[in-house]
């Protein structure tokens, strides 16, 4: 039976890889067999409290961090979104050496912020989670391709096997996340009132960031229409 907390398995595996030791070495220190540690890291078995305490001591992290309840290794709980670091708050926040990168980043950051604000008004936690999974999965894919192209030898940084990555497992996850997002929106309560999405209402509600979303909508539309037209022309 799969364990009920996949964050634990993922974090346990990443902490070991971060330390640069094998499962056999970690298992010996933690006083269990390599096979049992493999089960824990794969999420096939759920450990007892004694093991959790040993793992926390060995990796010098809190139980809350190991269980995925906080992003802070010392157990500090993020009480609200305002405590998270926001790069957009930095003064003179410009990516060095590239105006294009800075402009592209702002378009995406502004649009994503607007999207999540709209989702918060809809009030569907399932839709918010699905959107977060989809967007974070996209970042994961692009960063991993960048990591591979750089020739970095730290292959243990990622816990998804390279052959699975290259075969498209993360892209399959994007499709699942998109399906979950659509399903969540289709099943919001009948009394839910979606925020107005017409042009005038959006301009009034988001005078700063709506322009970024418009730019992305326009640019994507032009690119996709152009690609489709080119494909149709080549198939004639």
Q: Is the pLDDT of residue 94 over 60?
A: no
Q: Where are the domains of the chain?
A: 6-66, 93-123+192-236, 125-187
Q: Is the pLDDT of residue 174 over 80?
A: yes
Confidence of residue 173 (pLDDT cuts 50, 70, 90): very high
Pull the structure tokens for residue 122: 């809809």
CA distances from 108 to 14, 88, 143, 236 (A): 28, 12, 16, 36
How much is the pLDDT for 184?
Answer: 94
**CATH T-level fold of 6-66:** 434 Repressor (Amino-terminal Domain) (1.10.260)
pLDDT tens, 98-139?
A: 567 777 888 899 999 999 999 999 999 999 999 999 999 999
Confidence of residue 7 (pLDDT cuts 50, 70, 90): confident
Q: Is the pLDDT of residue 183 over 90?
A: yes
The answer to whether 135 and 174 have CB atoms below 8 angstroms apart is no
The burial of 221, by beta-carbon neighbours within 10 Å (0-12 exposed, 13-18 middle, 19 or more buried), is given as exposed
Can you tell me the distance from the alpha carbon of 162 to that of 156, in angstroms, rounded to the nearest whole number? 10
The burial of 204, by beta-carbon neighbours within 10 Å (0-12 exposed, 13-18 middle, 19 or more buried), is given as exposed
Confidence of residue 81 (pLDDT cuts 50, 70, 90): very low
Q: Is the pLDDT of residue 96 over 60?
A: no
Which of 35-39, 131-135, 156-160 is the least confident region?
156-160
Q: What is the mean pLDDT of the chain?
A: 84
Q: Is the pLDDT of residue 167 over 50?
A: yes
The mean pLDDT value for 183-187 works out to: 93
pLDDT tens, 189-236?
A: 777 789 999 999 999 999 889 989 998 998 888 889 988 888 888 887
How much is the pLDDT for 113?
Answer: 94
């Amino acid at each position: 039976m799969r364990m009920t907390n996949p964050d634990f398995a993922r974090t346990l595996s990443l902490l070991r890889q971060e330390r640069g030791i094998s499962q056999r070495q970690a298992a010996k220190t933690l006083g269990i067999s390599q096979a049992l540690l493999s089960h824990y890291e794969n999420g096939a078995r759920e450990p007892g409290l004694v093991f959790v305490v040993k793992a926390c001591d060995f990796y010098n992290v809190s139980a809350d961090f190991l269980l995925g309840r906080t992003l802070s290794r010392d157990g500090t709980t993020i009480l609200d979104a305002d405590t998270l670091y926001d790069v957009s708050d930095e003064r003179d926040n410009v990516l060095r050496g590239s105006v294009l990168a800075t402009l592209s980043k702002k378009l995406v950051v502004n649009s994503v912020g607007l999207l999540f604000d709209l989702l918060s008004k809809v009030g569907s936690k399932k839709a918010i989670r699905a959107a977060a999974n989809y967007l974070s999965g996209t970042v994961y894919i692009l960063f991993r391709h960048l990591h591979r192209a750089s020739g970095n030898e730290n292959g243990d940084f990622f816990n998804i096997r390279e052959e699975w990555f290259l075969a498209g497992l993360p892209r399959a996850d994007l499709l699942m996340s998109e399906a979950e997002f659509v399903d969540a929106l289709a099943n919001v309560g009948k009394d839910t009132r979606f925020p107005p999405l017409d042009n005038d209402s959006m301009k009034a509600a988001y005078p700063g960031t709506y322009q970024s979303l418009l730019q992305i909508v326009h640019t994507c539309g032009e690119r996709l229409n152009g690609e489709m037209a080119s494909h149709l022309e080549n198939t004639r």
